Amino acid sequence: MTPASGAGNQQFYFSDPHGSTVALTNSTGTVDATWAYSPWGVVTAHSGAASTSILFAGAYRDAETGLLYLQARYYDPATAVFLTVDPLVALTGQAYVVHRR
């Protein structure tokens, strides 16, 4: 649970183990909105009037494009693809290394 406030309205974020926002409540504990996601980050269900730009994996969602900003690059949940090469390629020498042996 993480508190957030704005315009005199305090909200509390509830997240799953991946950091994805799954619910927003108000200061009285009433659930204002809920979200569910596909494994790749597409919002599969949303209920309630409250909204947030912090969604899948705690990433900021761009309202115009639907892309998620994951700290170093943009990710498209609709195609499950990052739009740019990993910025650490300069260190690893390989663009898409998940782990090295």
Distance, in Å, from the CA atom of 9 to the CA atom of 26, rounded to the nearest integer, reads 8
pTM of the model: 0.79
Tokens of 66: 């639907």
Residue 1: CB partners within 8 Å, gap ≥ 6?
12, 13, 14
Tokens of 4: 């957030």
Domains of the chain, residue spans: 2-92
- Count Cβ atoms within 10 A of the Cβ of residue 37 and give its class: 0-12 exposed, 13-18 middle, 19 or more buried: buried
Per-residue pLDDT of the chain (101 residues; tens, 9 = 90+): 566 655 567 999 999 999 999 999 999 999 999 999 999 999 999 999 999 999 999 999 999 999 999 988 999 999 999 998 888 787 777 766 555 55
